[in-house]
Structure 1
């Protein structure tokens, strides 16, 4: 089986994950086999990535458009490589293929993968430094820093479209999450704002 993994750091109102989905479908991933979420690439316990790793079996393939979609942490990448080796999977990251489906991972491929991980983490650290510097400068100019307060007035329309069906018991959390193309974490956040836990 072929599976895909797509991730964006911020929620669906700020980043469009559909480009990654289209690329994965073009690479032969069935749309129903794409796992996606809006979480930081450094977060260790990611719901959808964990679900994907729990579903795959020996000989299966996981495809991601780039390494930073899977992780921006070198340590997490090393842990993932161990799982890939233990389960005898094939992982395709962009055009780079790591095949552990039959044999052990060769030293050159492992070294290249770890090098990619180092650069992904370096990129994340540089972005973080630029963001912090920008926030300091904005604050010095008197700008208000931080996310706008989320209220029932600015919940996305797609959620509000399907919310009545959930409220009436026609669909459950998983179906609401799928229809809205949002993570369950985001769904729970909106339900909490609306007083439905």
Structure 2
């Protein structure tokens, strides 16, 4: 069994000495550290290396949970990774410690709360879509191109006198908006199959 530490600060200007001292006192002989924003897992390469290094019986030690996870969902995903290799996690400043039964129980409650939150978000989203349909609004973004401009744009494209890029400048829309308008008219069956009507 090994105690593996992970320390993170958000910017290059910040100092992680406090975290390093606390992790050292907790018995960590190996500490992964980085200076990176916690907003994306992709940007935290040392965290990825740390998690990949863990083996059965190892304990991942952090100063605070927000140093390792940006959200409850992120934390639960990390905990699933740890569980898959037989490792556990401990925070030196918070009551999160999956090395004991009470800590595991707390994690199970957090998991149930996260599942409830996901379900409630889904229910609200579906209810919002139904309400919008009842008011005559279709879900999704409104078109950038007006219904009167669209046939004119397509006609100009089909004449061969204009390119997608020229039409995007003329109608002040993106090239992808121009392409979608053309596809809606020239390839309606393909367009409907992709669900972009």
TM-score (norm 1): 0.50
TM-score (norm 2): 0.50
